[in-house]
Chains A and B, each alone.
Chain A
Amino acid sequence: MSKDKFDYFIKGEKNNYEVIIGLEVHAQVSSNSKLFSGSATKFGAEPNSQVSLIDSAFPGMLPVINKECINQAIRTGLGLNAKINNNSVFDRKNYFYADLPQGYQISQYKNPIVGEGKVLLDMPYGSKEIGIERLHLEQDAGKSIHDMDPSNTYVDLNRSGIALMEIVSKPDLRSPEEVNAYIKKLRTIMRYLGTCDGNMQEGSLRADVNVSVRQVGDKKFGTRCEIKNVNSIKFMQMAIEYEANRQVELLDEGKKIEQETRLFDTKKNETRSMRSKEDAHDYRYFPDPDLLPLKIEQKLIDDLKKTLPELPDNKKERFMKDYGLNSYEANVLVSEKEISNYYEEVAKLSDKKLAATWMMGDLFAMLNDKGLNISKSPITAKNFAELVQSIKSGEISGRIAKEVFELMVESGDNAKKIIESKGMKQQSDPKELEKIINEILTKNKDKVEQYKSGKEKLFGFFVGQVMKQSGGKANPQLTNDILKKLLKG
């Protein structure tokens, strides 16, 4: 969080270059059935077990739009502060491939369901708005498996026909960091809405990355290259880094950048040309005559709007206002709906600020360590709140609290029970403490003399002795106060 100024530039021989990035994110719609058929969409099913006659394009089969997918696209559009188009059209994108049974993909070309919108990013150097160009619905293709057999390709059509939302950003992104923030923000919004699970390992979220560079100060965009189908944020960042440097090198050599489609090789960490602009497919888009134009009543949009959950930007603002969190804390705690729910439950029962600190510290570290989602946390929100309150009330010290936390994770017991059974309660009785301190001072008269004659560093030694004597339970603040008083005397 140290950078307070944007500084992602590629150094060329003479000039610094700015990197321009636009993303086409393919997000799988959360729905029980496919975009135009009743087939199931569960991940990891037996190959070709979720395929209908429509998905495999048998003669005479016709697509019928799945209304739930439409609603999900509208919800997502609303979550992106975008215009929902009352009229949109499904087009056919024609090309041949073994895992594309129809010989065309049903997509939306000229008239998408969702128009312009925007997404707000929180960058260390301030907040930044990324424009959304459009969102459209389309069918996914099947999967060709080339490595199961030396001479044959196998095709799994389970994915064939699954609904995807293609979310196209404006070329507003300027660094791999911003791409990271953008993808995470999109994912957060869609998870809040329940419109896409955002699971990148399962391919629910992938992106085509458009990269170009221009000299700092230039107004005109450079020629862009499109890196196809990158399926993790890390790979997107690596691909951008590589591609931007490649383009800068070319320009430095006085060469031109060719507009082309490239692939990112994750093993070699480089992008490679896939096809040039001249070889680009002619997809022969035209409106799908099997489907009528999609008309969306304003009432449906209004009704869906009413049922939207509180979205991360609003929730963040509320967290800052209601719970006194800073922007960074609020950001982290709204990053997932489940985290924000957990926090709100804890905050209701304990100190809001301290709860945030402890959640983002020990709780997240533990969950991370165990590879657990917060919904699977071994410590319930209620128990966690109790722990936070025990710290706040001075019943236990922060150091002891860490031990209690560990024990809570191990045993599943609540904080009170652990503190009591292990006698971990903080020693906060001034008389008891005074007794201990007096004993220590009597035992170390020489050190007291040295302290009084100016060797104030010895204060720490006395504190240490008190802690040792009390088994770490002495209230540190109280110990300090009493020690100071008695050493003066």
Chain B
Amino acid sequence: MSEIVKKNLSEIIDLIKKKEIKSEELANLYIDKVNKSKKLNSYITTCFEHTIQKSKEFDKKPNLNTLLPGVPLAVKDLFCTNGFKTTAGSKMLENFIPQYESTVTENLWKEGAILLGKLNCDEYAMGSSNETSYFGNVINPIAKDTVPGGSSGGSASALAADLTPATIGTDTGGSIRQPASFTGTVGLKPTYGLCSRWGIVAFASSLDQAGPMTKSVKDCSIMLEAMAGFDKKDSTSIEKKKENYSKNLKTDIKGLKIGIPKEYRVENMPKEIDELWNKGKSILKDLGADIIDISLPHTKYALPTYYIVAPAEASSNLARYDGVKYGYRSSKGNDLIEMYENTRSEGFGDEVKRRILIGTYVLSSGYYDAYYLKAQKVRQLIKKDFDENFGKVDAILTPSTPSSAFKIGEKTNDPISMYLNDIFTVPVNLAGLPAISVPAGLDKKGFPLGLQLIGKTLDEQNILNVAYAFEKNCNFKNEIKNWWL
């Protein structure tokens, strides 16, 4: 097996720029490994003919003045790709081929990247273990019986297993950061509105945000730079100038104030995670940052709030999958209503149905005020907690997840314990803030654990810098043995 696929994105870009490797050769190396790694089930769709053709075109006339020159990339199967199946991990869209390209992937291709395939994910991004996918669960390359996290589980698994040099996911309640933490990779959820949502299969519109998943912080800055940008097709997109995250990346974090929220020390949290958090604090302190204890008093309401707001929006967003226009349609049923019922009963999996039911319930007349409206009010309080503290601190450090990767099937029958996985990540989505998960160490099973840095609105550069400095001083090493080959 080639050592090149193990390299970071930035190293691979260097090789291409120095003409030490051709785009086509690179593509073939990844294709070869993807073909040998089907056990992981991280890909739903491959499009190797397209990849090879595009890489040949690139090699013929290489444009090296782009961020991702001739780099093959696989993306989460929630991004619509023109001419290539986009399933959202659901039977409902099993054979759906969009005739349009999501803005974020379009931005990647404009920067020279080439589509390698579509990566498995929880159905409609609803899940924390990639076990709700219609296309089967994904295996974490860390150990064969463990989940990669979710919902961007295919993305995290493929990245950690060197089946793509970098990737993108979407994060509604932790779907980038949690799998990054579970696989020892870097994942960033940008400020809500930094990356366009146009062309991404919607889960919960006010929370969904696309972001990069990479092997290093530097890679993360490159990918974010390529993805981000104002899009007039998305009304919630933020109008601002593009930033050069990779160029402005620095390790000097002297004098930065890092907040440590006491509410993130939850009951029954493994000791290892607490130790890792302390390790993080001391690394940043050694680098000259001020560590400040803060309080985010409404944190404990974040999870219940999230599990009202997200399903409510999802119940409405998923109404369009009705068998009328595209996607799966049941052949059973004598009238329109029966067709709807059968199509949606057969086309959606249990977790999606569960959330549609919850969402429908909380929006129902008579319950709206008690659930949805109240949740929106609490959401404002959670946001206010952050706003007030960002007067005092520049970034906030927390664990990414309350545990390391768990066993396949361990939580599938207990949705509540599954939802608890998002406890550290959802407040950030509710507040619309940027946050990055960086690998910080291994637990005693040898499974990776991540720390999360939360930043101010549009302060991605700052958390990237802190993460960059942390990464350089943490000496984390992912121990992935290619056991599945």
Chain A residues contacting B324 (CB-CB under 8 Å) are: 98, 101, 155
Q: Pick the residue among B201, B235, B312 that contacts A59 (CB under 8 A).
A: B201
Interface flags for B316-337 (1: CB within 8 Å of A; 0: not) read 1011101011100000000010
A61 to B93, CA, bound (A): 15
Interface flags for B76-104 (1: CB within 8 Å of A; 0: not) read 00001000001010000100101110100
Indicate whether B218 reaches chain A with its CB closer than 8 angstroms. no
Q: Are B336 and A64 in contact (CB under 8 A)?
A: no
A153 to B202, CA, bound (A): 29
Q: Pick the residue among A53, A94, A291 that contacts B100 (CB under 8 A).
A: A53
| Distance in Å: Cβ of B213 to nearest Cβ of chain A | 19
Given A64-B232, A98-B324, A290-B235; A59-B319 close (CB under 8 Å): no
Chain A residues contacting B66 (CB-CB under 8 Å) are: none
Chain A residues contacting B312 (CB-CB under 8 Å) are: 286
Indicate whether B206 reaches chain A with its CB closer than 8 angstroms. yes
A290 to B320, CA, bound (A): 15
A282 to B316, CA, bound (A): 13
Q: Pick the residue among A62, A101, A153 that contacts B336 (CB under 8 A).
A: A153
Q: Pick the residue among B102, B235, B315 that contacts A292 (CB under 8 A).
A: B235
Chain B residues contacting A126 (CB-CB under 8 Å) are: none
Given A96-B340, A289-B313; A56-B236 close (CB under 8 Å): no
Residue of B nearest to A103 (CB): B319
A289 to B86, CA, bound (A): 23
Indicate whether B442 reaches chain A with its CB closer than 8 angstroms. no
A290 to B196, CA, bound (A): 11
| Distance in Å: Cβ of B389 to nearest Cβ of chain A | 25
Q: Are A289 and B205 in contact (CB under 8 A)?
A: yes
Q: Are A292 and B236 in contact (CB under 8 A)?
A: yes
Given A59-B96, A94-B363, A292-B236; A102-B336 close (CB under 8 Å): no
Chain B residues contacting A102 (CB-CB under 8 Å) are: 319-320
Indicate whether A104 reaches chain B with its CB closer than 8 angstroms. yes
Indicate whether A65 reaches chain B with its CB closer than 8 angstroms. yes
Classify chain A: how many residues form its interface, as a range.
Answer: 20 to 34
A289 to B340, CA, bound (A): 25
Interface flags for B290-322 (1: CB within 8 Å of A; 0: not) read 000000000000000000000011011011101
Indicate whether A44 reaches chain B with its CB closer than 8 angstroms. no
A98 to B365, CA, bound (A): 24
A98 to B326, CA, bound (A): 12
Chain B residues contacting A96 (CB-CB under 8 Å) are: 319, 322, 340
| Distance in Å: Cβ of B163 to nearest Cβ of chain A | 25
Chain B residues contacting A58 (CB-CB under 8 Å) are: 98, 100, 325-326
Chain B residues contacting A92 (CB-CB under 8 Å) are: 316
Given A64-B233, A289-B206; A104-B201 close (CB under 8 Å): no
Q: Are A59 and B322 in contact (CB under 8 A)?
A: no
A155 to B80, CA, bound (A): 25
Indicate whether B368 reaches chain A with its CB closer than 8 angstroms. yes
Q: Pick the residue among A59, A61, A62, A285 that contacts B88 (CB under 8 A).
A: A59
Q: Are A284 and B336 in contact (CB under 8 A)?
A: no
| Distance in Å: Cβ of B440 to nearest Cβ of chain A | 33
Q: Are A290 and B364 in contact (CB under 8 A)?
A: no
Q: Pick the residue among B313, B315, B320, B365 that contacts A57 (CB under 8 A).
A: B320
A292 to B238, CA, bound (A): 11
Chain B residues contacting A98 (CB-CB under 8 Å) are: 324, 336
Q: Are B363 and A291 in contact (CB under 8 A)?
A: no
A60 to B316, CA, bound (A): 13
Q: Are B205 and A290 in contact (CB under 8 A)?
A: yes
A107 to B316, CA, bound (A): 14
Indicate whether A398 reaches chain B with its CB closer than 8 angstroms. no
Q: Pick the residue among A65, A101, A284, A285 that contacts B325 (CB under 8 A).
A: A101
| Distance in Å: Cβ of B132 to nearest Cβ of chain A | 17
- Chain B stretch 322-373: residues in CB contact (< 8 A) with chain A: 322, 324-326, 336, 340, 360, 363-365, 368, 372
Indicate whether B200 reaches chain A with its CB closer than 8 angstroms. yes
Interface flags for A255-296 (1: CB within 8 Å of B; 0: not) read 000000000000000000000000000101110011110000
Indicate whether B204 reaches chain A with its CB closer than 8 angstroms. yes
Q: Are A94 and B316 in contact (CB under 8 A)?
A: yes
Chain B contact surface mostly? loop
| Distance in Å: Cβ of B466 to nearest Cβ of chain A | 30
Indicate whether B25 reaches chain A with its CB closer than 8 angstroms. no
A366 to B23, CA, bound (A): 78
Q: Pick the residue among B201, B236, B326 that contacts A60 (CB under 8 A).
A: B201
Indicate whether B215 reaches chain A with its CB closer than 8 angstroms. no
- Chain A stretch 75-108: residues in CB contact (< 8 A) with chain B: 92, 94, 96-98, 101-104
Chain A residues contacting B326 (CB-CB under 8 Å) are: 58
Residue of B nearest to A291 (CB): B235
Chain A residues contacting B197 (CB-CB under 8 Å) are: 60, 62
Chain A residues contacting B340 (CB-CB under 8 Å) are: 96
Q: Are B233 and A284 in contact (CB under 8 A)?
A: no
Interface flags for A146-163 (1: CB within 8 Å of B; 0: not) read 000000010100000000
Indicate whether B199 reaches chain A with its CB closer than 8 angstroms. yes
Indicate whether A194 reaches chain B with its CB closer than 8 angstroms. no
| Distance in Å: Cβ of B116 to nearest Cβ of chain A | 20
Q: Are A60 and B365 in contact (CB under 8 A)?
A: no
Q: Are B235 and A62 in contact (CB under 8 A)?
A: yes
Q: Are A60 and B336 in contact (CB under 8 A)?
A: no
Indicate whether B135 reaches chain A with its CB closer than 8 angstroms. no
Residue of A nearest to B232 (CB): A64
A59 to B78, CA, bound (A): 9
Given A62-B234, A284-B364; A56-B316 close (CB under 8 Å): no
Q: Are B319 and A104 in contact (CB under 8 A)?
A: yes
Chain A residues contacting B98 (CB-CB under 8 Å) are: 58-60
Q: Which of A92, A290, A292 has the most CB of B within 10 A?
A: A290
Interface flags for A7-46 (1: CB within 8 Å of B; 0: not) read 0000000000000000000000000000000000000000
| Distance in Å: Cβ of A81 to nearest Cβ of chain B | 31
Chain B residues contacting A64 (CB-CB under 8 Å) are: 232-235
Q: Are B322 and A103 in contact (CB under 8 A)?
A: yes
| Distance in Å: Cβ of A476 to nearest Cβ of chain B | 73
| Distance in Å: Cβ of A67 to nearest Cβ of chain B | 12
Q: Which of B199, B234, B320 has the most CB of A within 10 A?
A: B320
A286 to B319, CA, bound (A): 14
Chain B residues contacting A289 (CB-CB under 8 Å) are: 204-206, 236, 313
Indicate whether B277 reaches chain A with its CB closer than 8 angstroms. no
Chain B residues contacting A155 (CB-CB under 8 Å) are: 324
A62 to B233, CA, bound (A): 7
| Distance in Å: Cβ of A301 to nearest Cβ of chain B | 21
Residue of B nearest to A64 (CB): B235
Chain A residues contacting B198 (CB-CB under 8 Å) are: 60-62
Interface flags for B164-208 (1: CB within 8 Å of A; 0: not) read 000000000000000000000000000000000111111011100
Q: Are B202 and A59 in contact (CB under 8 A)?
A: yes
Chain A residues contacting B204 (CB-CB under 8 Å) are: 289
Chain A residues contacting B234 (CB-CB under 8 Å) are: 62, 64
- Chain A stretch 324-373: residues in CB contact (< 8 A) with chain B: none
A104 to B318, CA, bound (A): 10
Chain A residues contacting B363 (CB-CB under 8 Å) are: 94, 284-286
Q: Are B325 and A57 in contact (CB under 8 A)?
A: yes
Indicate whether A63 reaches chain B with its CB closer than 8 angstroms. yes
A98 to B337, CA, bound (A): 10
The interface of chain B, by Cβ under 8 A from chain A, is 80, 86, 88, 93, 96, 98-100, 102, 197-202, 204-206, 232-236, 312-313, 315-316, 318-320, 322, 324-326, 336, 340, 360, 363-365, 368, 372
For the complex with contacts A59-B86, A60-B102, A290-B202, 10 further pairs of A-B residues with Cβ separation under 8 Å are A58-B326, A59-B96, A59-B202, A94-B315, A94-B319, A96-B319, A102-B320, A284-B364, A286-B316, A289-B204
Q: Can you list the 3 inter-chain pairs with the closest CB atoms, starting with the nearest?
A: A103-B319, A289-B205, A289-B206
The interface of chain A, by Cβ under 8 A from chain B, is 53, 56-65, 92, 94, 96-98, 101-104, 153, 155, 282, 284-286, 289-292
**Mind listing 13 A-B residue pairs with CB under 8 Å?**
A53-B100, A59-B80, A59-B98, A59-B201, A60-B98, A94-B315, A96-B340, A104-B319, A284-B315, A284-B368, A286-B363, A290-B202, A292-B235
